[in-house]
């Protein structure tokens, strides 16, 4: 029988194997919903609803919920935190930290409902899904500017390249795959870089021609991406040029238009 869960902590590591020593391949952020596909000891094998990406989480760090509650939350229009950092506090003084892109369960006039009861949110929220415009894509991405690179990360305090693009589009009601090689399957091809527009996704490959990197076009000459940190660099038909290093760091493979 399928089981269901929700993340009620700020961030929860998702690991490749059911062990604290295993590589972190993803993160849950507050409000993420997931299916529980297996249980091994104190570990759940989960698949997040927005991308069906599998990994292992510590049972102690997540909350199992009923099918009815899962369906209610999954079918409700999402409300997101729109500040880099926020907080929700209960009547008894318990609090949880909220990060940009966190989904607020059963949000209603500043309050949310968690398994521990009602909490009041003290930060700005995005009550309606923003129109998926090119400017909105870039504006949200720019909020992550300067965030450190973290393999598997999905927050302003650590994010990888595909985590950044996924989070940005998620807040606009568009679900992308978790990894760059999955995201490249989305959208239509842009044949020439001078035809690229703000909000287009640019993908880059390695020497084996595997897609290993993705970023968001700011215009047809600049890109915002996570490499060391979330940064804006120059881009041309060859790839990304890092002014500080005075060299190309990523070889352009393809540009895709999602909206």
Active-site residue among 7, 50, 181, 213? 213
Other beta carbons within 10 Å of 192: 9
- Tens of pLDDT, residue by residue over 65-82, are 999 999 999 999 999 999
Q: Which tokens sit at 5?
A: 């869960």
The pLDDT, as a whole number, for residue 123 is 86
Can you tell me the distance from the alpha carbon of 240 to that of 131, in angstroms, rounded to the nearest whole number?
A: 29
Angle between helices 134-142 and 161-170 (to 10 degrees): 130
With residues binned 3-state (H G I as helix, E B as strand, rest as coil), the percentages for the chain, rounded to 5, are: 15, 45, 40
pTM of the model: 0.95
- Tens of pLDDT, residue by residue over 138-192, are 999 999 999 999 999 999 999 999 999 999 999 999 999 999 999 999 999 999 9
Other beta carbons within 10 Å of 137: 27
Q: Which residues contact 58 (CB under 8 A, 6 or more apart)?
A: 12, 20, 42, 43
The pLDDT, as a whole number, for residue 131 is 84
The pLDDT, as a whole number, for residue 214 is 98
User: Angle CA(169)–CA(171)–CA(174) in degrees, nearest 5?
Assistant: 45
The pLDDT, as a whole number, for residue 5 is 98
Active-site residue among 7, 50, 161, 250? 161
What φ, ψ does residue 179 adopt, rounded to 5°? -105, 160
Pick the closest to residue 118 from 87, 78, 89, 85 (CA basis): 89
If 0-12 CB within 10 Å is exposed, 13-18 middle and 19+ buried, where does residue 243 land?
exposed
The pLDDT, as a whole number, for residue 130 is 81
Mark whether 225 is an active-site residue.
yes
Active-site residue among 50, 225, 237, 250? 225
Assess contact for 44 and 76: CB atoms under 8 A.
Answer: no
Mark whether 7 is an active-site residue.
no
The pLDDT, as a whole number, for residue 17 is 98
Residue showing tokens 């990523």: 250
Give the helix/strand (H/E) hosting 134: helix 134-142
Q: Radius of gyration of the chain from Cα atoms? A: 19
The pLDDT, as a whole number, for residue 129 is 77
Can you tell me the distance from the alpha carbon of 204 to that of 47, in angstroms, rounded to the nearest whole number?
A: 26
Q: Which tokens sit at 185?
A: 């399957």
Q: Which tokens sit at 75?
A: 């079918």
Can you tell me the distance from the alpha carbon of 1 to that of 120, in angstroms, rounded to the nearest whole number?
A: 34
Mean pLDDT score of the chain, rounded to an integer? Answer: 96
Assess contact for 24 and 47: CB atoms under 8 A.
Answer: no
In the chain, the domains with their CATH numbers are 3-73 (2.30.30.40), 76-126 (2.30.30.40), 134-257 (3.90.1720.10)
The pLDDT, as a whole number, for residue 122 is 87
Low-confidence ranges of the chain (pLDDT < 50): none
């Amino acid at each position: 029988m399928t089981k269901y869960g929700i993340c009620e902590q700020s961030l929860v590591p998702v690991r490749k194997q059911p062990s604290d020593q295993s590589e972190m391949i993803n993160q849950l952020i507050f409000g993420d919903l997931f299916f529980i596909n297996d249980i091994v000891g104190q570990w759940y094998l989960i698949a997040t609803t927005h991308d069906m990406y599998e990994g292992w989480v510590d049972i102690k760090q997540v909350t199992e919920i009923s099918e009815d509650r899962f369906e209610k939350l999954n079918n409700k229009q999402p409300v997101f935190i729109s500040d880099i950092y926020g907080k929700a506090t209960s009547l008894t003084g318990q609090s949880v930290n909220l990060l940009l892109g966190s989904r607020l369960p059963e949000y209603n006039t500043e309050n949310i409902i968690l398994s521990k009861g009602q909490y009041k949110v003290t930060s700005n929220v995005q009550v309606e899904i923003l129109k998926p415009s090119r400017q909105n894509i870039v504006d949200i991405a720019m909020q992550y500017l300067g965030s450190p690179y973290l393999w598997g990360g999905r927050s302003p305090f650590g994010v990888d390249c595909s985590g950044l693009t996924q989070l940005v589009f998620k807040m606009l009601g568009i679900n992308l795959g978790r990894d760059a090689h999955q995201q490249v399957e989305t959208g239509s091809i842009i044949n020439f870089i001078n035809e690229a527009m703000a909000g287009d996704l640019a993908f880059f490959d390695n020497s084996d021609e595997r897609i290993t990197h993705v970023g968001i076009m700011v215009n047809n000459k600049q890109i915002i991406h996570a490499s060391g940190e979330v940064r804006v660099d120059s881009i041309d038909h060859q790839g990304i040029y890092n002014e500080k290093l005075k060299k190309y760091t990523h070889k352009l493979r393809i540009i895709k238009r999602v909206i």
